[in-house]
Amino acid sequence: MTDWILIVDDEAMIRENLRAYLEDEGWRVAAFESVAPALGWLRNGDPCRVCIMDMRLPDMDGNSAIRALHQTYPDLEFLIHTGSSSYSLPEDLRAMGLDDSRVYHKPLADMAPLAAAARRLAARGDLP
Amino acid sequence: MPAPSSSSTTPSSPIPSAPRWYGGWSRQFYWGLALAAVIGAAAVTALDPFSYHETLLDHWFGPVQQEMDGFEVMLRHAVWLLIPLGAVTVAALSWSWLLQRQVAQRTQQLQRELNERQQMEMALRESEARFRDVTEAASDWIWEMDENLRFTCLSERFYDLTGIPSQYVLGLTRWELAAMDSAADPEKWRRHREILENHLPFRDFVYQTRLSGSHNEGRYLKVSGKPIHDSQGRFLGYRGTGTDITEQIRAETALQESELRLRRIIDLVPHMIFAKDRHGRFLLANRATARALGATVDDLIQHSHSIVHNVAEETERMLADDREVIDSGTPKFIAEETFTDHAGQVRTLQTIKIPLTEPGLNETAVLGVAIDITEQKRAKEEVARMRLYLKNIIDSMPSVLIGVDPWGYITVLNQPAEQTGGMSWEAAQGRFFGDVFPQLEGQFEQVRQAIRLGRPIKTPRMTLDVQGELHYADVMVYPLMADNASGAVIRMDDVTARVRIESMMVQTEKMLSVGGLAAGMAHEINNPLGAILQGSQNILRRVAPDMPQNRAAADAIGIDLDRIHRYLEQRQILRFLEGIREAGTRAAKIVADMLSFSRRSESRFALVNLEEMLETVLRLAASDYDLKKKYDFKRIVIERDYDPALRLMHCDKTEIEQVILNLLKNAAQAMAEEGTPAPVITLRTRCEAEHALIEVVDNGPGMDEKTLKRIFEPFFTTKDVGAGTGLGLSVSYFIITEQHNGRLSVMSKPGQGARFSIRLPLSREALP
């Protein structure tokens, strides 16, 4: 079966390109431009294991979104896809198991590493 | 028998001239004697009743013969005559000798008596003369008083000496003569009257007369007197002598006044004036001396120096000086000596000590004058200190300072000027400044102008050639303002370092502004870039014939994917897409580079093994070949010249890797473009005193000066458009200088390769 992957990014073309690539890679992709609809989708949608999160979002910043989603969905794994070059992971996110390998800086000339990371995270979630 | 008949003729009266008398007497005597003998013989013969003499003659000569003539008879009688004559003669001679002796003795005695009398007379006459002389010559006169104590007699000398005619005095008592004096000192007069009334003798009574005689003032008289009594012991009055001591008293008074005046003068003098004998006893001291020793002048006199001045070391030294002066008999000048006064304050004295001989002193003393020069000395020291301080100020000044007169001759050099000119102040003094500082020769016009206009003239950023190196100097010429000193000072500051720092600052500012700009826009640019790059990737993926999803979609709409792909290739669409991708990547790189210019707050310094790091960079550079395809890194010979002493150093590893990689790539690119036949890159490390040196040296085309000047400027590139971002070296520069407090420099000449030198501080503390 194909896994769901959640994408939150306010840049439409980024969303669409990621969706296209990941769908080609066999994912079912749910993409939202902000956190609120994403939460709504998660609440009544299918179980989702991986989320690619942008940092600058219209309704809240990516770090807070990750905290919020993690609280409700502790199994959800995050990949950070940010346009900010000076982004560094806050300590509490590191405490949640995130590290610098989860951070991907825009522009991603090659989305293959991101897709591979998402696949690895989804597989890790399957194991236990 | 001879009779002593001649005794009647014995001379007895003394005759003044003994020899004369003696001669006369002798002649008469002998005549008398002869006559007496003849008469005596005749008388005896005539009166011989028994003719005794005939018997005697017969007895002696035999009886008278008949035949005897008259002559023989006469002879017989002559013998008879001669016998008494001889006897008388002998007696007379004996008597005469005896007499003569007595006379001589008497004469001697008389002579002696006579002499004595003469001497006595002479002595008496002399005594009389002396007395007369003394009375006449002595200053004394003789006076007499009657029993009522009134003057009755005054010798002539009184008038001679006092100028007071004696008739004014006769009949007066002494107190009447001295009315004023007796009023002035009644006690003295009361005692004197008592003595007189008791008829006692007195001596040396001094008083002043009211009479002035021919002189202007009353006279001072000194009198002595004895009472006179008659044989019954009745008091008759007084007799005595008097002398006029007015002159003496005046002289004494004058002397006293003179002494007082001198005393006042030496007491007024603020310097210490004193005289001491060889034992250190004060013979003289003025008030200043007494004050300094905390005593009164009277206390000091006859006291020893060592008693009144209880600082042993000073006392010893001063007394030794005294003795030296006394013994040598020459003055001694002591330019400076310390003296602790009674209050414990240490003063500095300048003293001169002079040997002093005075009639009253049997040995030489020392006269000293000590001037308190504490203040002067302090002032002098202050001046010296100030001079030193000012010298220190100008010497410590990092600027070159050259003082010149209006004609350009050197008056002052400070220490930096001495170093720069290679000549000491002393040696340079009086020389033309242009000769000592050829690089400043052109400033002479400014010197003249500054003095003329009375204001400083500046020449900023004057270029100097210092041993073949270009230096910058700010030169300021300012006129000396003091009224009596005309001239100017040339101040030169080597501002090379500042100029370099300034240009570096400009560079850094540029970079930081670029960094700030980049940080602000990075997000905005990165999103569209992401869309572009990701879009390109998706397009390329979705036209690829080998992807099952593509085939499925193509099949569903009934088109041949392979043919489409061929079309895309034929029309170079795929190539264009690749171009979009590359352009996007380059834009992303520019943004990333620009972001490097922003300062990092987070320290990412770590201890790094330099050799390992360099090897990593070499591997990265070699793999870069595939990406760019413009140069072949494997063709380049890499020479490693690592300093074994330099192994570990602190740095931000990824940043330094980036810098070195950038340098390697630039070198490779430059050599590839130029077609350098045997390209060699040397990687060299050296451990310097405070820095780790990393050099990247190539044998490529090198650079001209114009390029060198701008090489670290952002966006400056020599590469073809599209080949470089123009940020690489400026980023490297920023990383080394700003993020590591190091230095990045380059040396190159066209055709001679290039040498980039990175110097990073060795100590952790020197890092930011």
A105 to B533: CB separation less than 8 angstroms, yes or no: no
Domain end position, chosen among B218, B251, B284: B251
Residue of chain B whose alpha carbon sits nearest to that of A109: B533
- Inform me whether the pLDDT recorded for B754 exceeds 60: yes
Adjacent-strand bridge partners of B352:
B333, B369
Dump pLDDT digits (tens) for B559-592.
998 999 999 999 999 999 988 998 888 888 777 7
Shortest CB distance from B538 goes to which of A21, A56, A107? A21
Q: Which residues contact B241 (CB under 8 A, 6 or more apart)?
A: B140, B141, B142, B143, B223, B224, B225
From B731's Cα to the closest Cα of chain A, the distance in A is 16
For residue B545, being part of any structural domain is answered with: yes
B535 to A108: CB separation less than 8 angstroms, yes or no: no
- Inform me whether the pLDDT recorded for B4 exceeds 50: no
B592 touches A at CB < 8 Å: yes
Express as a percent the part of chain B with pLDDT over 70: 87
B535 to A13: CB separation less than 8 angstroms, yes or no: yes
**Tally of domains within chain B:** 6
> Beta strand B365-372 with B400-404: parallel, antiparallel or unpaired?
unpaired
Q: Are residues B96 and B243 in the same domain?
A: no
* CB-based contact B326:B317 (threshold 8 Å): no
Give the domain range for residue A31.
4-126
Residues B229-243: what's their mean pLDDT?
A: 89
Domain end position, chosen among B68, B98, B114: B114
For residue B69, being part of any structural domain is answered with: yes
Q: Are residues B293 and B408 in the same domain?
A: no
- Written as six digits, the tokens of B605 are 């310094």
Q: What are phi and psi of B142, to 5 degrees?
A: -115, 135
Q: CB neighbours (10 Å) of residue B421?
A: 23
Residues B63-87: what's their mean pLDDT?
A: 73
Shortest CB distance from B522 goes to which of A21, A24, A85? A85
Give the confidence band of B13 by pLDDT, cuts at 50, 70, 90.
Answer: very low
A88 touches B at CB < 8 Å: yes
Give the domain range for residue B275.
269-379
For residue B122, being part of any structural domain is answered with: no
Which residue bears the tokens 């001889």? B86
pLDDT given at position A51: 94
Helix axes B52-61, B70-137, angle to 10 degrees: 110
A109 to B584: CB separation less than 8 angstroms, yes or no: yes
3-state DSSP call for residue B144? Answer: strand
CB burial of residue B91 (10 Å; 0-12, 13-18, 19+): middle
From B547's Cα to the closest Cα of chain A, the distance in A is 9
Chain A residues touching B585 at Cβ < 8 A: 109
Residue of chain B whose alpha carbon sits nearest to that of A107: B530
* Residue count (chain B): 768
Residue of chain B whose alpha carbon sits nearest to that of A9: B527
Comparing A58-67, A94-103, B78-87, B364-373, the range with the smallest average pLDDT is B78-87
Q: Are residues B238 and B292 in the same domain?
A: no
B523 to A56: CB separation less than 8 angstroms, yes or no: yes
Q: Is the peptide bond before B398 cis (omega within 30 degrees of 0)?
A: no
Q: Are residues B564 and B627 in the same domain?
A: no
Comparing B16-20, B672-676, B721-725, the range with the smallest average pLDDT is B16-20
Residues B483-487: what's their mean pLDDT?
A: 73
Residue of chain A whose alpha carbon sits nearest to that of B521: A84
A11 to B523: CB separation less than 8 angstroms, yes or no: no
Q: Are residues B607 and B754 in the same domain?
A: yes
Give the confidence band of B9 by pLDDT, cuts at 50, 70, 90.
Answer: very low
Q: Are residues B409 and B369 in the same domain?
A: no
pLDDT given at position B484: 66
Q: Are residues B280 and B373 in the same domain?
A: yes
Chain B residues touching A86 at Cβ < 8 A: 519, 595, 598
Dump pLDDT digits (tens) for A80-111.
998 887 788 898 899 888 988 899 988 888 99
Does this complex have an ipTM over 0.95? no
The closest of B701, B691, B710 to B752, measured between CA atoms, is B701
* CB-based contact A121:A77 (threshold 8 Å): yes
d(CA B464, CA B444): 16
Q: Are residues B540 and B583 in the same domain?
A: yes
CB burial of residue A46 (10 Å; 0-12, 13-18, 19+): exposed
For residue B384, being part of any structural domain is answered with: no
Q: Which of B526, B550, B602, B627 to mutate to test the interface with A (most CBs of A within 10 A)?
A: B526
Q: Which long-range contacts (CB under 8 A, 24 or more apart) does B307-310 make?
A: B308/B282
Chain B residues touching A18 at Cβ < 8 A: 534
Chain B residues touching A88 at Cβ < 8 A: 602
A107 to B524: CB separation less than 8 angstroms, yes or no: no
A24 touches B at CB < 8 Å: yes
Dump pLDDT digits (tens) for B392-411.
998 999 899 999 988 889 99
- Inform me whether the pLDDT recorded for B72 exceeds 80: no
Comparing A1-5, B269-273, B429-433, the range with the smallest average pLDDT is A1-5
For residue B441, give the amino acid letter. E
* CB-based contact B267:B287 (threshold 8 Å): yes
Which residue bears the tokens 């007024």? B268
From B581's Cα to the closest Cα of chain A, the distance in A is 7
Q: Are residues B682 and B729 in the same domain?
A: yes
Instruction: Check residues B13 and A111 and name the one with the higher pLDDT.
Output: A111
For residue B297, being part of any structural domain is answered with: yes
Comparing B5-9, B363-367, B741-745, the range with the smallest average pLDDT is B5-9
- Give the CATH number, domain containing residue B290: 3.30.450.20
pLDDT given at position B661: 86
Q: What are phi and psi of B690, to 5 degrees?
A: -125, 0
A21 to B534: CB separation less than 8 angstroms, yes or no: yes
A73 touches B at CB < 8 Å: no
B534 to A86: CB separation less than 8 angstroms, yes or no: no
B397 touches A at CB < 8 Å: no
Q: Are residues B646 and B680 in the same domain?
A: yes
Which residue bears the tokens 């959800």? A76
Q: Are residues B432 and B540 in the same domain?
A: no
Q: Are residues B611 and B694 in the same domain?
A: yes
- What pTM did the predictor assign? 0.42
pLDDT given at position B62: 72
Shortest CB distance from B549 goes to which of A18, A24, A86? A24
Distances, alpha carbon B730 to alpha carbons B508, B539, B653, B700, B727, in Å: 9, 36, 18, 20, 5
* CB-based contact B400:B491 (threshold 8 Å): yes
pLDDT given at position B625: 54
For residue B249, give the amino acid letter. I
> Beta strand B754-761 with B691-698: parallel, antiparallel or unpaired?
antiparallel
B350 touches A at CB < 8 Å: no
Residues B256-284: what's their mean pLDDT?
A: 89
Give the confidence band of B460 by pLDDT, cuts at 50, 70, 90.
Answer: confident
For residue B259, being part of any structural domain is answered with: no
Dump pLDDT digits (tens) for B486-499.
889 999 988 877 77
- Inform me whether the pLDDT recorded for B170 exceeds 80: yes
d(CA B625, CA B665): 9
* CB-based contact B245:B252 (threshold 8 Å): no
For residue B125, being part of any structural domain is answered with: no
**Tally of domains within chain A:** 1
Average pLDDT in chain B: 83
pLDDT given at position B585: 87
Dump pLDDT digits (tens) for B122-140.
999 988 888 777 666 666 8
> Beta strand B400-404 with B488-494: parallel, antiparallel or unpaired?
antiparallel
Using left for φ > 0, alpha for ψ between -120 and 50, and beta otherwise, residue A47 falls in beta
d(CA B239, CA B151): 9
Residues B227-248: what's their mean pLDDT?
A: 88
Dump pLDDT digits (tens) for A26-75.
999 999 999 999 999 998 877 888 999 998 888 888 999 999 999 888 88
Dump pLDDT digits (tens) for B292-346.
888 888 888 878 888 888 888 888 999 999 999 999 989 999 998 999 988 888 9
pLDDT given at position B214: 57
Residue of chain A whose alpha carbon sits nearest to that of B524: A83
From B595's Cα to the closest Cα of chain A, the distance in A is 7
Comparing B72-81, B527-536, B604-613, the range with the smallest average pLDDT is B72-81
From A128's Cα to the closest Cα of chain B, the distance in A is 31
d(CA B663, CA B682): 11
From B516's Cα to the closest Cα of chain A, the distance in A is 12
- Give the CATH number, domain containing residue A66: 3.40.50.2300
- Inform me whether the pLDDT recorded for A125 exceeds 70: no
